[in-house]
Amino acid sequence: MVDLIEQLAPDTVAANLRRVREAIADRGRDPDTVQILAAIKYLPTECLAALADGGVRLVGENRAQQLIAKQEVAGERFTWDFIGALQSRKVKDLVGRVRWIHSVASDSALAQLERHAPPGCEVLVEVNVAGEAGKSGVAVPNLAGFLERCPVRVVGLMTMPPQASSAEQSRPHFARLAELAAENGLRELSMGTSQDYAVAAQEGATIVRLGTILYESAA
């Protein structure tokens, strides 16, 4: 269980952003081609100003209600994405508020997008690359058909690989998502978290979703 972040200093955020960008560059990627999304599920509203002052411009929330509450306080300071498990009944609350939903993965979500999405709405489709039982995401064999049924523009794919003891164990899953995106003409790859973002960037991530690595002071 991750604890709620109670304090955050802009200097800490700025230093961590520099380290992340350096790690991405060390893997042979231009850091300017990889968007750093701050996952703010465990970040209280009162810490958002420090996040912005530290240089973060893109944030993602896992819960629709919390996204709305935080956006009402600091909306103009960030670009907002939704990165959590998507309940289809929450689609109408999110479209129009966020740039992208990263986790579209069900026909019920597609139906709600058809009903509620404004013109120009764009999303990412979550893919269960590893085929884990009980895990959200479109199965790889079903992806092409799902993309065809989506009533709004799909700009990319997202995945969460299986839990692993090392970042390298996630590499095949990231590489496979990149292959699927290329096969379907999609430009965005949302993959990689604090534990494995550098490997994800090396495999083509255009968005990495980072939490604690942005918020904790270096030892």
* Residue 1, pLDDT score: 47
Tell me the pLDDT tens digit for each residue of 62-100: 999 999 999 999 989 999 999 999 999 999 999 999 999
CB-CB contact of 202 with 32 (8 Å): no
Number of domains, the chain: 1
What CATH number is given to the structural domain containing 114? 3.20.20.10
Asked whether residue 181 is domain-assigned, the answer is yes
Asked whether residue 99 is domain-assigned, the answer is yes
Cα separation, 184 vs 176, whole angstroms: 12
Tell me the pLDDT tens digit for each residue of 4-51: 787 899 999 999 999 999 999 999 999 999 999 999 999 999 999 999
Tell me the pLDDT tens digit for each residue of 123-170: 999 999 999 998 999 999 999 999 999 999 999 999 999 999 999 999
Asked whether residue 1 is domain-assigned, the answer is no
Question: What is the span of the domain harbouring residue 24?
Answer: 10-213
Cα separation, 177 vs 23, whole angstroms: 21
Of 196, 111, 112, which Cα lies nearest the Cα of 159? 196
Asked whether residue 14 is domain-assigned, the answer is yes
